[in-house]
Amino acid sequence: MNSKILRIIFTLVMLNFTSDTTAQENNMKTNSLSDFEKWVIEKKGTERPFSGEYYDYWDDGEYTCKRCGTPLFRSENKFDAQCGWPSFDDEIQGAVRRQTDADGSRIEILCNNCDAHLGHVFLGEGFTEKNTRHCVNSTSLSFVPLKIERQNVIFAGGCFWGVEFYLQKENGVMDVISGYTGGWKEHPTYKEVSSGNSGHFEAVKVVYDPSKTNFETLVKVFFEIHDPTQANGQGPDIGPQYRSAVFYQNTVEKEIIEDLIKQLKAKGFKTSTLVLPASVFWVAEDYHQDYYEHKGTMPYCHFRTKRF
């Protein structure tokens, strides 16, 4: 084979190699880094202890590589080792690579996708049952919060201030909003609802995390924080706007409400609570939101009474 043919073959091989390398580099999407981030991630630096964004950070979600976005650790594996850096006792399978550190005495951990320096891993310290501590620079990480499914239910049980006050304290409740529902007046005001002529109830919309609580639990709480046997009012607040009602969004919710009412009646409670389909919920004026929290007092006509 003459030299000319060899040169052609060599050129073709190098072109193919260069093309493949360029394609791999283009497929590796990386985020831009600040000078300090480059020092930690590329030069294997270490941020000062207790200075990182995620050292004392406990939201639910995933920690990803700051450079390439690969998921590395989950919040459920994070613990406080009181060492000054975020600590995890496990990694997402296949996401983290280990190698002997340049000092020859420690084990470095890197993003398995882009080789970003993360920190070091230590074994046998006994912090958790997994006996592993991934000691990670916050600078090497980004955080992706867990997407929480939200559901809601609407209750009316007298003055919405008191109903809101107690439901806000329940586990899994993310928000409680005071407002008006069930009537014919659009964009009602407090004055219009208080007149009793708008058809609306004073009500609250409860937004909750179904992984931490459920519809039935919240309905039970509702029946225990007001008097479901009082018709046309609640305590000293009398009028149609203060009636007791639960608003359902589907047949399953309706059946749950009706079953709980049957249980109450079997215990001797002559329940007057209405079971109604959910309709438009109008948010009340700002000064009604978190009323007792701002005022610093307790509700005057709502009390917690065990009924289930």
Q: What is the mean pLDDT of the chain?
A: 91
Given 65, 111, 159, 301, which residue is catalytic?
159
Q: Residue 8 — pLDDT band, cuts 50, 70, 90? A: very low
> Does the pLDDT of residue 152 top 60, yes or no?
yes
Distance of CA 209 to the CA centre of its chain: 8
Give the 3-state secondary structure of residue 147: coil
Q: Residue 13 — pLDDT band, cuts 50, 70, 90? A: very low
65 is catalytic: no
Please give the pLDDT value at position 296. Answer: 86
Please give the pLDDT value at position 297. Answer: 86
Structure token digits, residue 221: 């709480």
| Span 255-279, pLDDT tens digits | 999 999 999 999 999 999 999 999 9
Could you tell me which CATH number the domain at 151-295 has?
3.30.1060.10
Amino acid (1-letter code) at residue 303 = F
Please give the pLDDT value at position 146. Answer: 86
Q: What is the value of pTM for the model shown?
A: 0.59
159 is catalytic: yes
Structure token digits, residue 185: 């007046």
Given 68, 83, 111, 135, which residue is catalytic?
135
Write out the residue limits of the CATH 2.170.150.20 domain(s) in the chain.
35-145
| Span 121-141, pLDDT tens digits | 999 999 999 999 999 999 999
Cα angle: 178, vertex 225, 219; to 5 degrees: 75
Rounded Cα–Cα distance for residues 142 and 286 (Å): 35
Q: HEC states along 210-274?
A: CCCCCHHHHHHHHHHCCCCCCCCEECCEECHHHCEEEEECCHHHHHHHHHHHHHHHHCCCCCCCE
Q: What is the DSSP letter of 7?
A: H
Write out the residue limits of the CATH 3.30.1060.10 domain(s) in the chain.
151-295
The CATH homologous superfamily for domain 35-145 is: Peptide methionine sulfoxide reductase. (2.170.150.20)
